[in-house]
């Protein structure tokens, strides 16, 4: 498996003949994006790879379509060129033509010469505190299996806080590589409430999951990451060695083998 972290939640995954892209964000920095109910964030850094340099994409795994830090204008423009877009049920209605999955549902992407079929299962995510769904909307993660394998080749947590169903997934799956969304998102208008995992919570999840490799993503490049790189650094410094040894932080824009 080769991973290229383009920035934020956007990662190009090359595995067994497949080219998958997560949460496409390719807008330049400097713009402020609204997240509803008076919340907003400024994009601070641009993508490490331009959309025209990404190359062909077989499938986009889109954890949610309604926040600009997970799907922006340039990322949206890329979607028609992708073979398949898999997202939430509500997102599929908004986008049209996408495969919509609720947590626990699975779709199979057919294989072909030189590559196996892919099984993509949506996993639970909650993008905020209890009862926040009417504000934050639907979000899912994705567990990707190659052909009929029982183990998960790749798990993407999606934008989520650490909550019961997420812990249950981490306890039940055998995962090779995990992309863990971190950052500890917080907005001034909602005070101390957080909308994604902090570094400490991500370390806890990795300790439960015990993947071969855990790659933190979506913790830099935006003003709403209250925990951010510093929080992740501190959490990893205090983490047990068994957790630290599993974490791989990628250099932006560099194709990295995690085989």
Domain ranges, ordered by start, for the chain: 2-251
In the predicted model, residues of the chain with pLDDT beneath 50 are: none
Q: Is 112 exposed, middle or buried (0-12, 13-18, 19+ CB in 10 A)?
A: exposed
| Residue showing tokens 């992309």 | 179
Measured CA to CA, the distance from residue 109 to residue 16 in angstroms comes to 13
How many whole angstroms separate alpha carbon 146 and alpha carbon 16? 8
Long-range CB pairs of 105-114 (<8 Å, 24+ gap) are 109/18, 109/58, 109/59, 109/84, 111/147, 114/17
Specify the pLDDT at position 175.
Answer: 98
pLDDT attached to residue 75: 98
Res 250: pLDDT: 97
- Residue 259, pLDDT score: 81
**Domain 2-251 indexed as CATH 3.60.15.10:** yes
| Model pLDDT, residue 149 | 86
Q: Give residue for tokens 């400490």.
A: 200
Q: How far apart are CA 138 and CA 169, in angstroms?
A: 18
Burial of 241: CB neighbours in 10 Å, binned 0-12, 13-18, 19+: exposed
pTM of the predicted protein model? 0.97
Helices 164-172, 199-209: axis angle to 10 degrees equals 40
């Amino acid at each position: 498996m080769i991973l290229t972290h383009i920035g934020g939640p956007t990662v190009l995954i090359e595995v067994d003949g497949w080219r998958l892209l997560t949460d496409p964000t390719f807008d330049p920095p400097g713009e402020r994006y609204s997240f509803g109910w008076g919340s907003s964030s400024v994009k601070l850094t641009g993508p490490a790879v331009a959309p025209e340099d990404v190359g062909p994409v077989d499938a986009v795994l889109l954890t949610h379509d309604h926040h600009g830090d997970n799907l922006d204008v340039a990322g949206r423009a890329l979607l028609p060129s992708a073979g398949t877009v898999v997202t939430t049920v509500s997102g599929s209605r908004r986008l049209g033509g996408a495969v919509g999955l609720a947590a626990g549902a699975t779709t199979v992407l057919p294989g072909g010469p030189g590559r196996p079929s892919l099984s993509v299962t949506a996993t639970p995510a909650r993008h905020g505190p209890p009862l926040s769904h009417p504000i934050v909307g639907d979000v899912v993660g994705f567990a990707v299996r190659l052909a009929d394998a029982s183990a998960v080749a790749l798990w993407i947590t999606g934008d989520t806080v650490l909550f019961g169903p997420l812990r249950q997934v981490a306890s039940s799956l055998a995962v090779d590589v995990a992309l863990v969304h971190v950052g500890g998102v917080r907005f001034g208008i909602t005070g101390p409430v957080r909308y994604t995992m902090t570094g400490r919570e991500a370390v806890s999840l990795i300790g439960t999951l015990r993947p071969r490799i855990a790659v933190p993503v979506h913790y830099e490049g935006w003003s709403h990451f209250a925990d951010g790189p510093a929080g992740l650094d501190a959490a990893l410094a205090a983490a047990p060695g068994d957790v630290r040894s599993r974490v791989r932080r990628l250099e932006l824009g560099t194709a990295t083998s995690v085989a």
